[in-house]
Amino acid sequence: MSHHMKKKNLILALALLIGGVSASLLMGACDRDTNCYVQVSVIDETTNKPLKGAFVKIDIDSSYVKAEGYSDAQGIFNATFTAPAIFNVNATYEDGYDEEYTRTNYYCYRKGSSNIRLKEGDTVYTTVLITSDIYRQYRN
């Protein structure tokens, strides 16, 4: 085999190797999970136990809601986002009726909040403590 032919084969082998490495890197990048995950634990400050049925809202400000729903039996609410961001996490727990306000159609609730910074491909864990303070709101 001539020197020129060996050089040509070496260049071809290097091109195939570089192409294969590039393709595998690109394929790996496509498979990488870039979602951002949030797990909110809602805890009753008075009992230090999880609260089932707390309404959780994740937003940038109160008018730009990104996720909302209710905590499960373990007091957990999960959400998935497609990009990193900083969010507020607010939770409210309806806590029965106040006798004085029942006649006037008010309901009582307790609340708590937290802030989170989402990271690409990671799960962020946060705890929202529902305080003992009781708030009243008119039920429409």
Query: What pLDDT does residue 28 have?
Result: 47
The CA–CA distances, whole Å, from 7 to 3, 70, 77 equal 6, 67, 62
So what's the pLDDT on residue 115? 95
106 and 22 Cβ atoms separated by less than 8 Å? no
Q: For 71, list phi and psi in degrees, rounded to 5.
A: -70, 145
Whole-number pLDDT of residue 56:
96
Using DSSP, state whether 85 is helix, strand or coil: coil
Per-residue CA distances from 32 to 4, 23, 29, 84 (Å) = 42, 14, 5, 15
- Is residue 75 within 8 Å of residue 47, measured between CB atoms? no
pLDDT bin (cut points 50, 70, 90) of residue 108 is confident
Is 44's pLDDT higher than 80? yes
Q: Radius of gyration (Cα) for the chain, nearest Å?
A: 27
Q: What is the C-alpha separation between 110 and 91, in angstroms, rounded?
A: 8
Is the pLDDT at 47 greater than 80? The verdict is yes
